[in-house]
């Protein structure tokens, strides 16, 4: 993801995604997360959703929306770095919302995502989980989302207001973890009984949840739980928090199958070759001495799973930290894999894995240089979720520098070895300008956060078993100032405010607008072979005109009836209560007492909040994802790509478009494909431009429109800066 941007935007409940342009690890606005490009993020997002839900599992799109930093996302966490009274507010305009942050969610909804998780932050000074504009107007009406909205954990700030604003499920149920109180639960029952929440809204909440359950086929596919995510013990309480029913809770089922092989393939395919002077790579395998340096090459002394939620940068980096992490079944370090490679090939191998041992490193580096060996330095930078502090980095990285004192290691090794290879593990950009220009550093690879097969994957690339085809999903600049925006590290008021003044100009768009030369641009990546581009063909397929959506919705529906007596909703006398469960039952027929709130009866809502009448359809609405005609193909773009080298390689041609407006980015990504091409052979790259690809958001019409009387250019290139072909749309 692009440094100093705000495109964390979306991820999927089940972890990071790898794609044709490289890895997109989870993270935040401080240069981590999914790609800053909404098109790329949307494609990867949609494909991941389809894959997850094809296995009868609901995908959860999160975090909705403009959740672009960890600092100040929660009041409780902010006590570490600044007192606040409410979470941070992300303040952005309508165009930026649609053309940047909402775009990937539209693709996710179009892909049929079952649920969406609203975020901790506020959007334009309204909590994301009770913001009617983003939940009802944008998500459910404009994008036609049919699933349910769930809160992030403890991101619910009200009951009736949140429900009327579009929140369907509060998670994990209580207001503060383990307090037993809830804005929903019994209070939702009370809200229905006293009329503050209409029945149609409760029915809608339930229908959305159950519909999603049916949608992914859970009614016909069911699997008993065979593990606990809370403990590795074989025996324990079936409900870990409730402490009930002591039984077998972990059957220790090995479900890995061939997953290790797949992880290795993804990790190697996602590795990006940034520099390769004098054809340093691939290694020939006959090096007399392979010397490896850096803590990032070796194991964590406490073990691969030695820190809860991976809350430390210890040893080699395989994944960032936070509540969405998991334990490694195994973790193959680069040191282990490369030592094996050298031994199999009959060469000598030595490594120094303590970054403070620079005297020993200098000696080993000189030794490798004297025998025409190779020096490989591993370095990293880490990030994660804001509740964990690693070396005073509260989720968001404090800067773009390398961690573990790696800069001194690189300087020591490269100063003594004229064939130094640098391998970077990180969630996003780091400062590499000095190393790009260092003549003794002859190759640089960015390996992202590669997972458990880290060592094997990098060995596959270094020794040429895999020809690198990954491309940067962000830009690497010289300094953090190049990116044009930054994290808010210090509270600027009691309710921190972030003004998204850069609009849609993040990452490569910002570099292009400011005419700043990056170190390595978005989409960049080298190969062990070389390619040429030719024969650009642009075809207008004649899709016809666009029709904005008109008409009205049906009235809100209710299903069945309910007993309006409070007595009918008291706790059943024979019910055994489970600790920490949230129940819908009342503790008293006096609803004021049952609510456990001193504010009972003082709720003030606008008259329209409970309006069940028919509503006008929005111009950009229609099928899930928006007006279906937005995805009509207007143009087909083709070109020929030839592999001129001696090795099979994978090229990633990228299609960029100029929208033509005075205030639009120079170019925006609108297509790419990863193509495997045999030596001396050619293939055709084909991409399609949809109406939405060529449209801009009109704030007056509240719809997507193509600009009149402007020339729209297209470019095909190997990155956002390495353009091979260009043309004008007819």
Joined together, the tokens standing for residue 44 give: 């990867």
CA–CA gap between residue 194 and residue 434 (Å, rounded): 67
Tokens, residue 332: 């193959």
Q: What is the DSSP letter of 571?
A: P
The CA distances from residue 150 to 130, 482, 502, 593, in Å, are 11, 37, 30, 28
Relative orientation angle of helices 38-53 and 102-110, to the nearest 10 degrees: 30
Q: Does the N-terminal peptide bond of residue 360 adopt cis geometry, omega within 30 degrees of 0?
A: no
User: Measured between alpha carbons, how far is 382 from 428 in angstroms, rounded to an integer?
Assistant: 9
Q: Which residues pair with 534 in a beta bridge?
A: 640
CA dist 518 and 393 (Å) reads 25
Element (H, E) at 261: helix 259-270
Pair type for strands 668-672 and 682-690: unpaired
Question: How many angstroms separate the CA atoms of 284 and 704, rounded?
Answer: 54
Decide if 507 contacts 549 (C-beta within 8 A). no
Supply the angle between the helices 454-462 and 259-270 in degrees, to the nearest 10. 50
Please say whether the beta carbons of 695 and 99 come within 8 A. Answer: no
**Whether 184 contacts 204, CB under 8 Å:** no
Which residue is associated with the tokens 């940068």?
313
CA dihedral (624, 630, 636, 640) in degrees, to 10, reads: -60
Q: How far apart are CA 251 and CA 79, in angstroms?
A: 40
Catalytic residue among 11, 152, 296, 335: 152
Residue with tokens 């960049």: 524
134/128 Cα distance (integer angstroms)? 7
According to DSSP H, which parts of 544-678 are helical? 591-594
3-class SS letters over 661-722: CCCCCCCEEEEECCEEECCCCEEEEEEEEECHHHCEEECCCCEEECCCCCCCEEEEECCCCC
Our answer to whether residue 313 is catalytic in this structure is no
405 φ/ψ sector (left φ>0, alpha ψ -120 to 50, else beta): left
CA distance 296 to 423: 9
Task: State both tokens at 435.
Answer: 């190393």
Cβ neighbourhood burial of 333 (10 Å; 0-12, 13-18, 19+): buried
CB 687 within 8 A of CB 633: no
Do the beta carbons of residue 327 and residue 336 sit within 8 Å?
A: no
Give the residue numbers annotated as catalytic, written as ranges.
Answer: 152
């Amino acid at each position: 993801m692009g440094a100093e941007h705000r495109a964390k935007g979306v991820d999927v409940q089940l972890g990071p995604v790898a794609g044709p342009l490289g890895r997109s690890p989870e993270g935040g606005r401080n240069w981590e997360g999914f790609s800053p490009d909404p098109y790329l993020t949307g494609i990867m997002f949609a494909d991941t959703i389809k894959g997850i839900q094809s296995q009868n599992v609901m995908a959860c799109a999160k975090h909705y929306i403009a959740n672009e930093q960890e600092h100040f996302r929660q009041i409780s966490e902010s006590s570490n770095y600044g007192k606040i009274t409410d979470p941070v507010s992300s303040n952005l305009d309508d165009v930026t919302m649609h053309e940047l942050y909402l775009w990937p969610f539209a693709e996710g909804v179009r892909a049929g995502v079952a649920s969406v998780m609203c975020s901790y932050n506020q959007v334009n000074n309204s909590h994301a989980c009770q913001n009617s504009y983003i939940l009802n107007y944008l998500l459910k009406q404009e994008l036609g989302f049919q699933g349910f909205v769930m809160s992030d954990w403890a991101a619910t700030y009200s009951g009736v207001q949140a429900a009327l604003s579009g929140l369907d499920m509060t998670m994990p149920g209580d207001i503060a973890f383990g307090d037993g109180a809830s804005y929903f639960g019994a209070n939702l029952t009370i809200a229905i009984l006293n009329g503050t929440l209409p029945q149609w809204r409760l029915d809608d909440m339930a229908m959305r949840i159950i519909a999603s359950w049916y949608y992914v086929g859970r009614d016909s596919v069911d699997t008993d739980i065979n593990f606990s995510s809370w403990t590795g013990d074989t025996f324990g309480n079936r409900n870990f928090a409730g402490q009930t029913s002591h039984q077998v809770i972990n059957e220790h089922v090995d479900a890995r199958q061939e997953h290790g092989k797949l992880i290795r393939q993804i990790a190697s395919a996602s590795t990006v070759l940034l520099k390769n002077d004098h054809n340093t790579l691939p290694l020939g395998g006959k090096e007399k001495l392979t010397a490896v340096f850096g803590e990032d090459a070796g194991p964590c002394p406490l073990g691969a799973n030695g820190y809860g939620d991976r809350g430390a940068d210890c040893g080699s980096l395989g994944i960032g930290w936070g509540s969405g992490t998991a334990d490694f079944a195994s973790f193959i370090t680069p040191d282990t894999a490369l030592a094996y490679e050298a031994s199999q090939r009959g060469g000598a191998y030595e490594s120094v894995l303590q970054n403070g041992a620079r005297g020993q490193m200098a000696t080993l580096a000189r030794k490798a240089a004297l025998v025409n060996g190779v020096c490989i330095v591993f370095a990293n930078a880490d990030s994660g979720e804001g509740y964990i502090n690693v070396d005073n980095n509260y989720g968001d990285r404090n800067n773009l520098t390398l961690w573990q004192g790696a800069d001194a290691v690189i300087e020591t090794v490269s100063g003594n070895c004229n064939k130094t290879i640098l391998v970077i593990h990180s969630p996003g950009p780091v400062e590499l300008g000095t190393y790009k220009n260092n003549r003794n550093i002859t190759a640089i690879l960015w390996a992202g956060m590669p997972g458990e097969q880290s060592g094997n994957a990098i060995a596959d690339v270094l020794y040429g078993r895999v020809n690198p085809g990954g491309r940067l999903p962000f830009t690497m600049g010289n300094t953090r100032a190049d990116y044009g925006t930054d994290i808010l590290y210090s509270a600027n008021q009691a309710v921190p405010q972030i003004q998204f003044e850069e609009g849609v100009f993040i990452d490569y768009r910002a570099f292009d607008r400011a005419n700043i030369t990056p170190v390595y641009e978005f989409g960049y990546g080298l190969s062990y072979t070389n390619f040429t581009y030719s024969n650009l063909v642009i075809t207008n397929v004649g899709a016809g005109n666009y029709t904005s959506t008109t008409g009205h919705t049906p009235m809100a529906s209710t299903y069945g009836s309910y007993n309006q007596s409070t007595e009918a909703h008291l706790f059943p006398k024979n019910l055994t209560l489970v600790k920490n469960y949230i129940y819908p039952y009342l503790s008293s027929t006096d609803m004021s007492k049952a609510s456990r709130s001193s504010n009972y009866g003082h709720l003030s809502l606008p008259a329209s909040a409970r309006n069940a009448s028919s509503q006008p359809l929005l111009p950009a609405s229609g099928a899930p994802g928006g007006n279906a005609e937005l995805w009509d193909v207007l143009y087909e773009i083709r070109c020929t790509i030839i592999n001129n080298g001696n090795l099979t390689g994978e090229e990633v041609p990228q299609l960029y478009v100029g929208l033509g407006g005075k205030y639009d980015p120079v170019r925006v990504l609108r297509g790419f494909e990863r193509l495997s091409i045999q030596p001396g052979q050619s293939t055709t790259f084909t991409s399609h431009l949809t109406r939405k690809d060529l449209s801009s958001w009109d704030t007056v019409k509240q719809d997507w429109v193509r600009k009149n009387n402007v020339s729209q250019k297209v470019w095909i290139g190997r990155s956002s800066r390495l353009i091979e072909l260009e043309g004008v749309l007819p």
